[in-house]
Amino acid sequence: MSIEFRHVRKTYPDGTTAVEDFSLVVPSHSTTVFVGSSGCGKTTLLRMINRMVDPSDGQILIDEEDVSRVEPVALRRRIGYVMQNSGLLPHRTVIDNVATVPILTGTPKAKARQDALGLLDRVGLDRALANRYPGQLSGGQQQRVGVARGLAADPNILLMDEPFGAVDPIVRDELQQELLRLQRELGKTTVFVTHDIDEAFLLGTQVVILKRGGVVAQIGTPAEILANPADDFVADFVGAKRGKRRLTAEERGAGDDVLLVDAAGYPAGLIAAPGGRLELADALAAGAGPKSRSVSNKTDQAGDA
């Protein structure tokens, strides 16, 4: 299920342009992240895929099929959607929330609920929570229910609109790892919107950095973007300009680890150096002394994704 944007434009009746001439191919079975500050049109672009917003001009194709020819309700039922603050129905239990879409599409209630229990397992929620109401769950648990609901109809496409924006950093970390695990297991075509560049680099196979008006600043893998920022805007946005990404091995920590600091001198982390040697770096940058060797911490993580 690949998604293609062809010269998409969105102008609102009051004259504001949310998106002007946006084109992109979202490859199937991988995660594409739209990242940018507020007002860059990233959510608008996401919502065009399931026709929550219709473009003023241009086309969006899912597997070569123009979505404007698909009836919105039918289209939305086969696309998973996860939003910030979960958007769960407050008057329905967790299990009924997860089973909503399958029941809409005609799955018998008992079977839909049974399947929903399986989905709770899948997103790491205790089945004991099945009969609670959303208001009785923590923010992180609510987001997990939101993800389970998004997956309930077994869609090929999953749209995620800042799903982890409103949870605390520790829970966000867990949810991100959980999403990476789910993505490895399920291989959905995922489009993810965030304003957090670290989250984008962690989750995205393809990262699209957007400027105001839906203008693409750069498209690439996290490694490509970090290594070659297209312009000052991108360099600034990913933090390369401020030296946040340029890490230098500075001094020995306790034991064999080496302490990494960024250009501003703040400690950024430790790197394993058994026997006092940086194994990876030695192979990559022969000749350079440990003092000037640079490593990007985020790129490594993103590479795993």
Partner 1 sequence: MLFLQAIQWILDPEHWAAVNFQAGIAEELGAHLWLSFLALVFTAAVALPVGLYIGHTGRGRGFAIVVANVVRAVPTLGLLSVLLLVSLALPPAVFVFVLLGVPPLLAGAYAGLEAVDRQTIDASRAMGMTEWQILRRVELPLAAPLILGGLRGATLQIIASVTLVSNFGINSLGDFILGGLAANDYVQMTAGAILVTVLALLVDGLLAVVQRFAAPRGVSRGRGTTTARGRRLSVPTGTPVSEGN
Q: Whose structure tokens read 């940086």? A: 278
Label residues 27-58 b or e (16+ Cβ within 10 Å = b). eeebbbbbbbeeebbbbbbbbbbbbbbebeeb
Residue 171 binds partner 1, judged by CB under 8 A: yes
Q: Which residues pair with 252 in a beta bridge?
A: 258
> What token pair was written down for 68?
């404007």
Asked if 67 and 157 count as a contact pair (C-beta separation under 8 A), the reply is no
Secondary-structure breakdown of the chain: helix, strand, coil percentages, each rounded to the nearest 5:
40, 25, 35
Residue 136 binds partner 1, judged by CB under 8 A: yes
Residue 117 binds partner 1, judged by CB under 8 A: no
Candidate list 42, 113, 149, 245; residue touching partner 1; CB under 8 A: 149
Residue 30 binds partner 1, judged by CB under 8 A: no
Residue 137 binds partner 1, judged by CB under 8 A: yes
Candidate list 29, 92, 122, 195; residue touching partner 1; CB under 8 A: 92
Residue 140 binds partner 1, judged by CB under 8 A: yes
Interacting span for partner 1 (CB under 8 A) from 81-89, 244-252, 275-283, 284-292: 81-89
Interacting span for partner 1 (CB under 8 A) from 27-35, 91-99, 180-188, 208-216: 91-99
Interacting span for partner 1 (CB under 8 A) from 89-97, 194-202, 210-218, 272-280: 89-97
Interacting span for partner 1 (CB under 8 A) from 7-15, 21-29, 86-94, 231-239: 86-94
Checking 239-248 for CB contacts under 8 A at 24+ apart, the result is 239/197, 245/296, 245/298, 246/294, 246/296, 247/294, 247/295, 247/296, 247/297, 248/291, 248/292, 248/293, 248/294
Q: Closer CB to partner 1, residue 73 or residue 286?
A: 73
Residues that bind partner 1 (CB under 8 A): 47, 50, 52, 73-78, 81, 83, 85-93, 100-101, 104-105, 124-126, 129, 133-141, 149, 171, 174
